[in-house]
Structure 1
Amino acid sequence: MTQHKTIVECLVYNEYHGLSYTKKIMAKLPMDMLQLSCIQIASIALLLFTQAESTTEEISSHKNNTITSCIASERSALLTFREGLSDPANLLSSWKGDDCCQWKGVYCGMRTSHVVRLDLGGPECAFGDSGMPVLAGNISSSLLGLQHLQYLDLSCNNFDNIQIPEFMGSLHKLRYLDLATSMFTGNIPPQLGNLSNLRYLNLGFSQYSSSYGSSYNGTYSMDITWLSRLTSLEHLDMSSVNLTTIVHWLPVVSMLPTLKILLLSACHLRSSPDSLQLSNLTSLETLDLSGNDFHKRSTPNWFWGLTSLKHLDISSTGFYGPFPDEIGNMTSIVELELSQTNLVGMMPSNMKNLCNLEKLGSYRNNINGSITELFHRLPSCSVNKLQLLHLPDCNLTGSLPTILVESLGNLTWLDLSDNKLTGHVPLWIGELTKLRTLYLNSNSLDGVMHEGHFSDLDMLKDLVLSDSSITITTSSNWVPPFNLTMIHLRSCQLGPKFPAWLRWQTQVVSLDISNTSINDMVPDWFWIAASSVEFLNIQNNQIRGFLPSTMEFMRAKEMDFSSNQLGGPIPKLPIDLTSLDLSQNNVVGPLPLDFGAPGLRTLVLYSNMISGAIPSSLCKLQSLWLLDISRNNLNGSITDCLVNEYSTNTTSMSIVNLSLRDNNLSGEFPSLIQKCPRLIFLDLGHNQFFGALPAWIGEMLLSLSFLRLRSNMFYGHIPVELTKLVNLQYLDLAYNNLSGSIPRSIINCTGMAQTRDDADDLRSALTSGEFYAGNVLVAYTGNLTVLTKGQERLYTGEIIYMVNLDLSCNSLTGDIPAEVSALVALKSLNLSWNNFNGKFPENIGALIQVESLDLSHNDLSGEIPSSLSALTSLSRLNLSYNNLSGSIPSGNQLQTLEDPASIYIGNPGLCGPPLSRKCSQPGPIPGDNHEDAGHGVVSFFLATGSGYVMGLWVVFCTFLFRRKWRVWWYSLCDSLYDRVYVQVAVSWASFRGKTNG
């Protein structure tokens, strides 16, 4: 099985090798071997077995050297070999004195005193232990002086960038050669084909080793015909050796008649013959072809005819089609690994013939059928042999059967996670008395699990029921029969009271009871029980209380207490802690002067009531990668780290994500940030920072992709140096006092001009997640409110896809440079509430991905370019209160925008739909300062009317208070009346006389 293994699984599963010492070996293995497949672990067990079996006289001679003594020429050869090595950890410190048979890793024959075994390797790096000391340097040809050498192990070292020496092909007595995972590169020398006595050959590379970077190119071979000469070979491991050019690899391998184990995983093989004529592989018991890309139907294939196979792994090989009926012919099979092979449909009914089957793995295949039907197709001919059933993410449906299927009675491992199972968990789960691991998470299971489901599970170690609707109900005084190491119950119903049975779980390594409806005071016994937990998640409950003062003595590495009601100050943290999330609680007081966790990488404290200044003790956290202390009550300025106070490394910190928004921090732009060259995300928004933006932002923070300085008091020009940030895709300088113009060199910000093909670096900067046995335990997703489309929107993980330029609410002037139109990856552009003037950007239609465009409240003039209608992604547009004129463009997305009239209000010269004024009407002269089109005419009539009314009022008041003026006025009116009357009467009489005549 290649995904998420535990020692428990392989303890159980490697017993088919018949190795009595297997349990002792596994008990000493570190937890990092979770990523290894059982076949790889079996290989390691065989390696150790071979070492233990090599020859009795070698081992006894090393312990009791009363008879043997080192041969001088061989001692000289060993010393010359050591001179070529780099041994920084002094692993070969015992290589001194005359008797080389007493040196570490050197074994001599009891009768001959010849060096017959050189063991300078170890299994550590196979488990990803990057901290183990190793040998390096060159391998001297002086080893040829050890002509009686039968066993050579140089595995798990760091012979970086050197080839496997050709001279090794001259060590003719070698029966065991292990050069695995030692960073060899280049072509594998065909001279190794001269080692005709070889029984064990390991040239593989552990793909799970964390000791080496992804830049390692590894070894390759363009011709493997030399393998056919190793006729005594029983074990061949060439995992991760690049065999891309090898087409006919199988005929070569099939010429090895004694071969029992063949491991060719991740070799870039692309051909798998349908059948094989004249095959000598009659002894082959273990075949691992996983991780290659054959991309062909699962049948026909040559390996289905190997009836001697006991262990077959074809996972992740590109095979597709239905599960082949040929599976039923492999009656010797013990371990069958078919995961991630694009196989579909129900497994064949003739699987009942596999009477020796102990392990079945079919992770992430589309079985797409009833779980009950699948159970009935499992072999029952040998009752209670099946030990491990690994069927997660197989699209299994239906309910678990109510009666125990006979073939499941001896299960130690049951994984049915990530399927579509419904209904209740049956009581027969409690009858699996040998069960050690139970994964039922991520299904639609519901109902109640009570003490009866667990009462006989004495051997249970891993209980994973997360992301289901299961309610776990037990009495308050119930003492479980098991002592678990893993408890994952996320989103199950445990509350409202704290589950009392947890107090008896004293060996837990990983505990997840997040989102389980607990609404209770955290009991004191919980902190005692959790003191040995390494991964602890209680987030999204209503847990009250205080963090314990003894927290520093806990063994925790990852802790997530977010979204609860925990209060009090932050105590000194556990020394091994690497991740802490206390966000959305009621934590008070200042940040600790001594965090107590020097290896802390993630610290998330947002939405609390933390006060005071940011202490310089943060500078101690040299490994800190993500720091979010936003939405608190922090105040004061951010002091710089004192040189040499906490670290000799004063020029660089590891922070990638820094969020300090929504506090009361003040002072100039923090100079401390100069020491954070790896910053990708920086948010100082909604504080009281002031001063000019320093030019060094663009010179020291070259990795910056997100810069948010919104709602501060920064002033001055936008530094031209800021445009050196080629990765910048999110720039928010809104609500400051910035002046000047937009630098035309903003076109250099290719993060706004090109869509990212790979956002993994942003995703890792804004999100974090720790995994334990395939389950996310402590997870953080950066969250950010973005003003776009006219409203504030909360973005979480999807913020990595947001490309935004927001310079609104400043005092910027000048033209909107044409270069802005080249930022074609923008999704939101907001330049509103500034003093921009000049023409509307002509090439605005180039911003084909923009969804929100706001240029309102500026002094832009001229016509709106017709290219605006090319913005087919646009969902919000605001061009109001400018001096725009002419016809409004139409078509495409512009016809679907909400409240279209408000988009153009305050532009007196605009015409055409959606405005009521037609473009054929003569337009009024636009006024200044955004006045209405008829403002001048209205002003004229208002002034005239006001003067007329005022004149009448003056005359009226004069006549009211001046009697003589009234008499004179009425006399004048009477006189004028009489004169007019006489004149009219005379004229009328004269007119009538003429008419009658």
Structure 2
Amino acid sequence: MAKSPMDTLQLSYIQIAIAFLLFAQAKSTTEHTSTPQPNDTNTTCMASERSALLAFRAGLSDPANLLSSWKGDDCCGWKGVYCSNRTGHVVKLDLQGSGYTIDSDSRKVLAGNISSSLLGLQHLRYLDLSFNEFDKMQIPEFIGSLHKLRYLDLSMSMFIGRIPPQLGNLSNLQYSTDIMWLSRLTSLEHLDMTYVDLSAIVHWLPVVNMLPTLKFLFLTSCQLRTSPESLQLSNLTSLETLFLVGNQFHQRSTPNWFWDLTSLKYLDISYNGFYGPFLDEIGNMTSMVELHLSANSLVGMMPSNMKNLCNLEVLYSYTSNINGSITELLHRLPNCSRNKLQKLDLSDSNLTVSLPTAPVQALSNLSWLVLDHNKLTGHLPLWIGELTELTILDLNSNNLDGVIHEGHLSRLDMLDSFILSHNSITITVSPTWVPPFSLRILHLRSCQLGPKFPMWLRWQTHLWNLDISNTSINDIVPGWFWIGASSAEYLNIRNNQISGVLPSTMEFMRGVVMDFSSNQLDGPIPKLPSNLTSFDLSGNRVIGPLPLDFGAPGLRTLLLYNNMISGAIPSSLCSLRALRLLDLSRNGLNGSITDCLVNESSTNMTGLGIANLSLRNNNLSGEFPSLLQKCPRLIFLDLGHDQFSGTLPAWIGEKLLSLSFLRLRSNTFYGPIPVELSKLVNLQYLDLAYNNISGSIPRSIFSPTGMAQTRDKTDYLQYTSSSEFGVGQNQLVDYTVNFTVLTKGQERLYTGEIIYMVNLDLSCNSITGEIPAEIGTLVELKNLNLSSNNFNGKIPENIGALVQVESLDLSQNELSGEIPSSLSALTSLSRLNLFFNNLEGKIPAGNQLQTLEDQASIYIGNAGLCGPPLSRKCSQPEPIPGESHRDAGDGDMVSFFVATGSRYVMGLWVVFCTFLFKRRWRASWYSLCDNLYNRVYVQVIVTWASLRGKLNG
């Protein structure tokens, strides 16, 4: 056989070999296959073929004993072996792997080598070895010698390398998936190359054009890059089905070779990068039954000659840019030949204006009407209720309004999916109305259902996916709702005013994802459904302790924050090995966190898998939880505003190597900062404020690359900081991690954008020593707060290297010396606090420093400073403490009063922090107040005496 240029064809996915499962035709009407019974005397196994099968088995690995029946003399009774009733020859070998089982992670597959002993089965016409694991093995060339083979399936069996050209010898093969040797397959009718990498083949179409009998052509996701404009002489006159989905054409949609194939019945060119207007050639495809144009860059209105497509049953053109009237488009649909159109999907196509008020004849037999994510306005017309064959109605995310009543719904007996979310529609029906349909999917998010619980929902007992979030329901949840919703795997009732208690039978519900957040549900938390993976009960009034048995071993997300849960955290949380996100913040939990045993062998030696843990704003106490040593994947940890105490253990830097966000604010931790924190190379947020941390700052702590180097925040941080679970457009359990940051003089709540915050806050502790010069390496810092400590020495000269810093607070320390001139280079700086230190010298000038608000208040309590914005000039001597006459110091005092009046809130914070954590400053504060009183009193008396003298004079 001559070498073809396609001999170099390589497979892009090693699990793809030859074909997907395809149906074979019989070549002869006289010879057929059957499965004989073991004692069938009419069919006996050929000895030579039995030997060939046994030799074939000997080369295989069969860990699941799939071929355990291959024993005895009659091979025609073996599993997967089929013999001809007429001749007794083996004609079919079906050894498809069974894939993953429900109760096991292992596959029941064959592996090993495919022996050439199969050549002993020269009458074999059907060979299926798909879904096995012939890892790192090429497709055997000898298969090309099985000349009678008409069906070959080697797909999903992890073959690698090129497809052997010897397969071109299979001239009787009717179903295959390669084009290297197509010219010799004159009987080929069905060609499926799905997922095969054909990017290296430029002239693929002329090869396909050599198959005059071809009826079905599947070239989905083949990485094709060119689609020729035309064929000079087309042999594809029998082609009925063409799938060109998901390639990389990126060219105009016309001219193109497939528009000349007027025999086509099924055409799918979705996801190809075609661009340009919707073309008139569509009107020539009069045989078309299904037309898929979705997810290209086609623009403009559909052509008017689309009315010629009298056989059209399915039209998909979602994610296009029609950018026109929905009324005009609907009137361009074909209404000939008894209205065959059944499915219409025009979602996300920039369709405008309102739906037509009069019925559209072309839609009378419609079963799917999908118009979501457009710009439709106005009311839902009554003729929608006349589409009696409708099973899916999806108008999600438009601008529809008005009222829907029984007249819209009473004839929709076949309705299965009813999706109206993100519109301003009010659904008003009689409390006694019984809907004719039984829905599986119901999405009414942001519609108006309340204030009473919609009674018609009690008849929907087969729901699989229910979303009635943000629907203004202000009512007690009825018992029948829990019964009806027990079949739903995806259940969302968030953001209403629903009250009542969770049912005690909740464990028997089928829920996989449940979102009950932002309601008024109370009572205890019952045992959860066994299949539950994500549960959001935040923002309710749940009371009592956490359950001793959660009952959901596969739980990945558990959000219970902002409730009234009390008691200790039970050790049962340790049984939730799949848990990734846990937020118990803003409750009344107390006590210490008890450690629990983790069976390392059952978790692949990685302990617990939690990545995001928030326990802030509770009353938890005890030392830093030793349980966290078993959480090596932890990225976000928030233990702020609790009552934890003790020293910070060194193992934080040794066991929690994935940690990026550590917030221990407002506890009573004491002792030094562990030098081992320097091992947390991903750390970008460290908040130890309002504790009793002492000692100096270890210089090595400034080594984390999370604060020193720019990182791509689109990777694991985005994944672990948020959690969205749902189906399709119905996102449930929409959660974003949130941290509070004291920056720019106020506490701000950061949610999704927290992953971009680089923060170091050590304020309100008892840290001593100098500020290490290494702080200048943390060039990604946006917030640096070292205030209310006992730092001494000078401000590091390289402080100006913090080019990203927006808020810098070094106030209430014992810093001395001059202010570094490099501060003026901080162009991102919008907040600076240096007050109450021992700084001296001239205040640096710079455009950025001069733009800060309340400039005088920045330098209060630094008697040795001079120059603008202070009134004290640098040529004047330093003020003498206790001096009563007006001098430059009086200007500072005036600035102090002005600043105090304008920044009252900041002053309260300063007083609070000073009084609580600084005994020395508390005494100084009262001394200063006395001194101020005396000076003001003297100034008033002197001024008054002077005025009286002038008046008397």
TM range (shorter): 0.7 to 0.9
1:274 maps to what in 2? 229
Paired residue type of 1:464: I
What secondary structure is seen at the aligned counterpart in 2 of 1:906? coil
- The counterpart of 2:139, out of the listed 136, 140, 164, is 164
Q: Could you say what secondary structure the match of 1:638 adopts?
A: coil
> 844, 851, 865: which one pairs with 1:910?
865
AA in 2 matched with 1:475? S
Cα displacement string for residues 370-417 of structure 1 (whole angstroms, at most 9, x for unaligned residues): 111111121223342111111111111100111111111111111111
- Residue 92 of structure 1 corresponds to 67
- Report if aligned partners of 2:98, 2:109 keep a CA contact under 8 Å in 1: no
Deviation at 1:838, TM superposition (A): 2.7
**What secondary structure does 1:707 align onto?**
strand
Of stretches 276-285 and 487-496 in structure 1, the one that deviates more from structure 2 is 276-285
Shift of 1:122: 6.6
Instruction: Provide, for residues 574-602 of structure 1, a one-character-per-residue CA deviation record: whole Å limited to 9, x for no partner.
Output: 11111111111111111111111111111
Verify: 1:139 aligned to 2:114, yes or no: yes
Range that drifts further, 363-372 or 275-284: 275-284
1:989 match? none
The 1:740/1:325 distance shift into structure 2, 3 A limit, reads farther
Query: How far off is 1:615 after superposition?
Result: 1.0
Corresponding residue for residue 808 of structure 1: 763
Correspondence 1:761 to 2:736: no
| 2:297 partner amino acid | N
CA gap 1:349/1:715 in 2 versus in 1, 3 angstroms:
same
Shift of 1:98: 2.5
Structure 2, unmatched stretches of 5+, are 1-15, 894-926, 935-953
| 8 Å contact kept, 2:467–2:730 | no
Correspondence for 1:834: 789
Range moving further from structure 2, 655-664 or 349-358: 349-358
Contact 1:343/1:366, CA 8 A, preserved across alignment: yes
Matched residue, 1:983: none
Residue range with higher mean Cα deviation, 620-629 or 381-390: 381-390
Query: What is the letter of the counterpart of residue 435 of structure 1?
Result: L
Change (3 A) 1:647 1:936: same
| 2:270 is equivalent to residue 295 of structure 1 | no
SS at match of 1:715: strand
The CA deviation string for residues 930-955 of structure 1, in whole angstroms up to 9 with x for no partner, is xx97499999xx99xx9xxxxxxxxx
Pair 1:761–1:79, CA change in 2 (3 A): farther
Contact 2:871/2:891 (8 A) holds in 1: no
141, 166, 170: which one aligns with 1:195: 170
Q: How far 1:268 sits from its partner (Å)?
A: 1.9
Corresponding residue of 2:216: 261
Matched residue of 1:848: which SS?
A: coil
Partner of 2:595: 640
Gaps spanning 5+ residues in structure 1: where?
A: 1-39, 204-223, 947-997
The one-letter code matched in structure 2 to 1:185 is: I
Q: Which residue pairs with 2:914 in the alignment?
A: none
Q: 1:650, 1:675 within 8 Å by CA — same for their partners in 2?
A: no
Q: Is the 8 A contact 1:274 1:299 kept in 2?
A: yes
Residues 740-795 of structure 1 deviation map (CA, whole Å, 9 limit, x = unaligned): 33333334321222333252312221211222233213322222222222212222
Deviation at 1:534, TM superposition (A): 0.9
Question: How has the CA–CA distance of structure 1 residues 167 and 645 changed in structure 2, closer, same or farther, with 3 Å as cutoff?
Answer: closer
Q: Distance in 1 between matches of 2:256 and 2:817?
A: 72
Query: Would you say the 8 A contact 2:82–2:93 is kept in 1?
Result: yes
- The alignment status of 1:478 with 2:478, answered yes or no, reads no
Judge conservation of contact 1:862–1:883 (CA < 8 Å) in 2: yes
Q: Size of the alignment, in residue pairs? A: 875
Q: Does 1:391 align with 2:366?
A: no
CA gap of 1:647–1:107, structure 2 versus 1, over 3 A, is same
Deviation of the 1:732 alpha carbon: 1.4
Q: Tell me by how many angstroms 1:100 deviates.
A: 2.2
1:152 is aligned, of 127, 134, 158, to: 127
- C-alpha displacement of 1:541: 0.8
How far is the alpha carbon of 1:612 from its aligned partner? Answer: 1.0
Aligned 1:21-170 pairs, distance under 5 A: 47=22, 57-59=32-34, 61=36, 65-121=40-96, 133-170=108-145
Tell me what 1:670 maps to.
625
The residue that corresponds to 2:699 in the other structure is: 744
- AA aligned opposite 1:285: E
Deviations 1:99-135 (A, max 9, x none): 22222222111122222212222797899x9776443
Supply the distance in 1 between the matched residues of 2:400 and 2:891 (Cα, whole angstroms).
74
Deviations 1:325-350 (A, max 9, x none): 22222222222212211112222222
1:186 is aligned to 161
Segment of structure 1 superposing worse, 61-70 or 667-676? 61-70
For the structure 1 residues 845 and 169, does the alpha-carbon distance in structure 2 shift closer, same or farther, using more than 3 Å as the test? Answer: farther
Q: CA deviation at 1:859?
A: 2.6
Offset, 1:494? 0.5
Note closer, same or farther for the CA distance 1:157–1:769 as it changes in structure 2 (3 Å cut). farther
1:856 to 811, 827, 850: 811
Question: Greater shift after overlay, 680-689 or 784-793?
Answer: 784-793
Contact map agreement 1:476 1:501 (CA 8 A) in 2? yes
Secondary structure of the structure 2 residue equivalent to 1:745:
helix
Matched, 1:340 2:327: no
Distance 2:892 2:652 in 1: 53
SS at 2:137's partner residue?
A: coil
Tell me the TM-score normalised to structure 2 length.
0.87
Residue 457 of structure 2 is matched in structure 1 by 502
**1:643·1:650 contact (CA, 8 Å) conserved in 2?**
no
Paired residue type of 2:586 = R
Return closer, same or farther for 1:890/1:436 CA change in 2, 3 Å cut-off. farther
Q: Distance in 2 between matches of 1:602 and 1:538?
A: 17
The percent identity for this pair of structures is: 75
Question: Which AA in structure 1 matches 2:852?
Answer: L
CA distances 1:663-694 after superposition (whole Å, capped 9, x unpaired): 11111111111111111111111111112212
Change (3 A) 1:452 1:905: same
Give, in angstroms, the shift of residue 836 of structure 1.
2.3
How far apart are 1:278 and its partner, in Å?
A: 2.8
Matched, 1:411 2:372: no
Cα distance in 2 between the residues matched to 1:148 and 1:361: 45
Q: CA deviation at 1:505?
A: 0.7
Deviation at 1:457, TM superposition (A): 0.4
Deviations 1:215-244 (A, max 9, x none): xxxxxxxxx533333332222222222222
The alpha-carbon distance between structure 1 residues 904 and 333, as it changes in their structure 2 partners (threshold 3 A), is farther
Secondary structure of 2:817's partner?
strand
1:318 match: 273
In structure 2, relative to structure 1, the CA distance for the partners of 1:67 and 1:748 (3 Å cut) is farther
Query: What does residue 511 of structure 2 align with?
Result: 556
Tell me by how many angstroms 1:67 deviates: 1.4
> d(CA) in 2 for partners of 1:292 and 1:524?
52
3-state SS of 1:771 partner: strand
Distance (Å, rounded) in 1 between the aligned partners of 2:274 and 2:465: 36
Cα deviation code 1:545-600 (max 9, x no counterpart): 11111111111111111111111111111111111111111111111111111111
Q: What one-letter code is carried by the residue in structure 2 that aligns with 1:196?
A: S
With structure 1 as the length reference, what TM-score do the two structures score? Answer: 0.83
